[in-house]
Amino acid sequence: MRVIFTTIARQELEDAVRYYELEYSGLGKRFKEEVRKAALRIAEYPHAWSIERDDVRKCLLHKFPYKLLYAVEKDYIVVIAVAHQHRRPDYWIDRNDVL
């Protein structure tokens, strides 16, 4: 199944990549690769991860304190947030993103 990132989720990803790259050269690239691997796992097993709220599921990254919050639609999976696990846990709830 195809995984689509909302505009805001894509921006969150790029912001985190930039932050990690400033912290240590190459770390941003490693973070982006972890997100890519998580998206591939979600695409293969969309219902494998626990529900965060309503129909939104969460997939925790292995090496970084982030999670992908996503919803399974009929023909695709939509990632609605690339969220840090320890900051403002429910900030994404009222999002009405347009793909």
Q: How far apart are CA 17 and CA 51, in angstroms?
A: 26
Average pLDDT over residues 29-41: 98
Q: Contact, 99 vs 10, CB < 8 A?
A: no
pLDDT at 86: 87
Task: Classify domain 2-84 by CATH number.
Answer: 3.30.2310.20
Q: What is the DSSP letter of 13?
A: H
pTM of the full structure: 0.89
Q: How far apart are CA 45 and CA 86, in angstroms?
A: 25
Per domain, the residue ranges of the chain are: 2-84
pLDDT band at 99 (very low <50, low <70, confident <90, very high): very low
